[in-house]
Amino acid sequence: MSDLTALLASREYAESYLTEDPVLQAARTRGVELGCTPIGPGAGAALRFLAAATTARAVVEVGTGAGVSGLWLLRGMRRDGVLTTVDRDPEHQRAARQAFAEAGIPSGRARLITGKALEVLPRLADGGYDLMLVAGAKTEYADYLTEAMRLLRPGGVVAFDNVLWHDRVADPAHRDPETVAMRDLGKLVRDDDRLVPVMLHAGDGLLAAVKRA
């Protein structure tokens, strides 16, 4: 087995370490059909882990999609936890509601808000959240980081999906706006003394950081 083949095999092994149940698989299929690429199983498992590790009661998500990431988060949160998820596409949120209902999640545990995240987030409470997931417009990620620093409690976690951006970020030859935005975000988070970051090679890349107390 070549080094590249072994690397790809290890990546696939890690991604499939935790299998998705039929509810998650159905939500993933709907997401693909709607054109909103769902978070990968490896990154989803990492989100569930982060939600459990922080005993998250209040989580905010930018980019509802078809509810795949929301399902992972809800399954790691406290049983009385509430997920606030924001998406500008009503069709995406209808798909997420279906996924949550199929999973048996009480309606009061998921607050779905239709609208532009940068217009919705400023209306949410300062320091009111344990975890924030960002999977929205890539060129707005730096703005979401600013909002996260206000929304998270001390010890809270912000997580950004797609930070490897289809393996383009590591290649300096790629200079499209989304790739540059992901590169700049990595530097912002790494160099911010208020944060303790880690970059995980899960899915399309997950950058997480703890807000220092």
Residue 13: predicted pLDDT: 87
CA distance linking residue 106 with residue 92, whole number of Å: 19
DSSP state letter for 36: -
pLDDT-based confidence at residue 200 (cuts at 50, 70, 90): very high
Residue 27 confidence (pLDDT)? 97
Q: Dihedral, CA atoms, 113, 115, 117, 119, nearest 10 degrees?
A: -110
Q: pLDDT at residue 8 above 90?
A: no
- In the predicted model, what is the mean pLDDT of residues 69-96? 97
> Given this model, what pLDDT does residue 126 score?
98
Among residues 58, 40, 83, 91, the alpha carbon closest in space to that of 204 is found at 40
CATH of the domain at 22: 3.40.50.150
Q: What is the pLDDT of residues 17-34, one digit of tens each?
A: 888 999 999 999 999 999
Mean pLDDT of the chain: 95
The per-residue pLDDT for 7 is 78
Domain that holds residue 107: 3-211
Residue 116: pLDDT over 90: yes
Band the pLDDT of 143: cuts 50, 70, 90. Answer: very high
Total count of domains within the chain? 1
Give the pLDDT of residue 3. Answer: 80
The pLDDT assigned to 194 comes to 98
Q: Cα–chain-centroid distance for residue 108?
A: 21
Distance separating alpha carbons of residues 11 and 145, to the nearest angstrom: 28
The tens digit of pLDDT for each residue in 157-187 reads 999 999 999 999 999 999 999 999 999 999 9
H/E segment holding residue 62 = strand 58-62
